[in-house]
Amino acid sequence: MQTTDSHVKTDDAQLPQVQEPRNAGMDLDLSWVRAVQANTSAIERRAATLPGRRSVKKNHQAAWLCKAISLIDLTTLSGDDTEGRVRRLCAKARQPVRADILDALGMQDLTTGAVCVYHDMVETAVDALRGSGIPVAAVSTGFPAGLSPYKLRIAEIGESVAAGAEEIDIVITRRHVLQGNWQALYDEMREMRAACGEAHVKAILATGELGTLRNVARASLVCMMAGADFIKTSTGKESVNATLPVSLTMIRAIRDYEAHTGYKVGYKPAGGISKAKDALTYLALIKDELGDRWLQPDLFRFGASSLLGDIERQLEHHVTGAYSASWRHAAG
């Protein structure tokens, strides 16, 4: 079996990859946006049958689960976060799985894709991850509701970038979507992208608050037109977060956008993905709908906090043949 793809070097795989040209965006094309369709029931049927259509077993399953770890934005976004808590999380990001298990798998260099924190924790995280190659992502722009003064939201991005965040997860103004004000959404996204500078920007759509999949599809497209590097489902704070139907809708938008512009935009489902099996289903979805190229950290991330724990237990089971328990794995 060939092992190619020089773009994956595990020692710095977590850096935003540079071999793909960054999405430069395009002028807002309202006729395209308005022509976008999303048939909810058909999308739900596809999503519902997907877990039954794809299955990976044995070594393949272990490899796919390691891949999932390498794609996790290990996240803490709580009001009670402290420096100590964040340092602990960063240590987990560096060593996501017990060393003996990684040794058995031959995956010693495995790390998570990034660590994702609030602005106040960026400096701590950057410090804790120094030398690891693991980037720090900051949620921004008045996360999670995105309703703080607009000026402050833009300024917040600059602060986080200055503090060392290489990735900025912004939240869009849901109102613009619900009111069909695509120009406003486009302008906002444009300005946020500009504020990010070299840092990559992930646009959080808060899909659970957009009402319809059609809105999800249209908002995805507008954010990509405005230069988003990633589109992301949720803050994790909405009552409904990442789902397979929403993911299918968004990645189809990504596929269309690439077909139209040539730019590959990344995808990040966030919130609600906590089981190893779910992660495998998501990877299969991405593989089948977007292709293998998207199974790299520069184009795909899981926004998750508890997913890693379940994957660790599955990997230990793979190595030992016995089911595991959570206390056998290091806390994050």
Binding site for other proteins (CB under 8 A): 1-5, 8, 35, 37-46, 49, 52-60, 62-64, 66-67, 70, 105-107, 212-214, 252, 255, 259, 283-284, 287-288, 292, 295
Task: Rank residues 125 and 250 by Cβ distance to other proteins and give the closer one.
Answer: 250
Is 74:117 a contact under the CB 8 Å cutoff? Answer: no
In whole angstroms, the minimum distance from the beta carbon of 66 to other proteins comes to 5
Task: Rank residues 40 and 78 by Cβ distance to other proteins and give the closer one.
Answer: 40
Is 258:225 a contact under the CB 8 Å cutoff? Answer: no
Task: Rank residues 22 and 287 by Cβ distance to other proteins and give the closer one.
Answer: 287
- The DSSP code for 209 is G
CA distance 314 to 65: 8
Query: Measured at the alpha carbon of residue 119, what is the angle toward residues 7 and 25, in degrees to the nearest 5?
Result: 50
Say how many C-beta atoms besides its own lie within 10 A of residue 30's C-beta: 14
In whole angstroms, the minimum distance from the beta carbon of 319 to other proteins comes to 10
Active-site pick, 73, 169, 298, 310: 169
In whole angstroms, the minimum distance from the beta carbon of 47 to other proteins comes to 10
In whole angstroms, the minimum distance from the beta carbon of 297 to other proteins comes to 12
Provide the pairing of β-strand 200-204 with 266-268. unpaired
Task: Rank residues 67 and 232 by Cβ distance to other proteins and give the closer one.
Answer: 67
CA distance 123 to 157: 14
In whole angstroms, the minimum distance from the beta carbon of 288 to other proteins comes to 5
Task: Rank residues 4 and 239 by Cβ distance to other proteins and give the closer one.
Answer: 4
Task: Rank residues 155 and 178 by Cβ distance to other proteins and give the closer one.
Answer: 178
Alpha helices for the chain (secondary structure H): 30-35, 40-53, 58-70, 83-94, 99-105, 122-128, 150-162, 174-178, 182-196, 213-225, 244-261, 276-289, 307-320
Q: Is 264 a catalytic residue?
A: no
Active-site pick, 67, 202, 232, 237: 232
The full DSSP string for 122-160 is HHHHHHHTTTTT--EEEE-SSTTTT-S-HHHHHHHHHHH
Active-site pick, 268, 278, 298, 310: 268
CA distance 314 to 62: 8
In whole angstroms, the minimum distance from the beta carbon of 229 to other proteins comes to 22
Q: Is 169 a catalytic residue?
A: yes
The full DSSP string for 12-45 is TTTSPPSSSPP-------HHHHHH----HHHHHH
CA distance 132 to 74: 14
Q: Is the dihedral of CA 225, 226, 232, 238 positive or negative?
A: negative
In whole angstroms, the minimum distance from the beta carbon of 37 to other proteins comes to 4
What would the two tokens of residue 286 be? Answer: 């991405």
**Phi, psi of 204, rounded to the nearest 5 degrees:** -85, 120
Task: Rank residues 3 and 239 by Cβ distance to other proteins and give the closer one.
Answer: 3
Point out the residues that are catalytic.
169, 232, 268
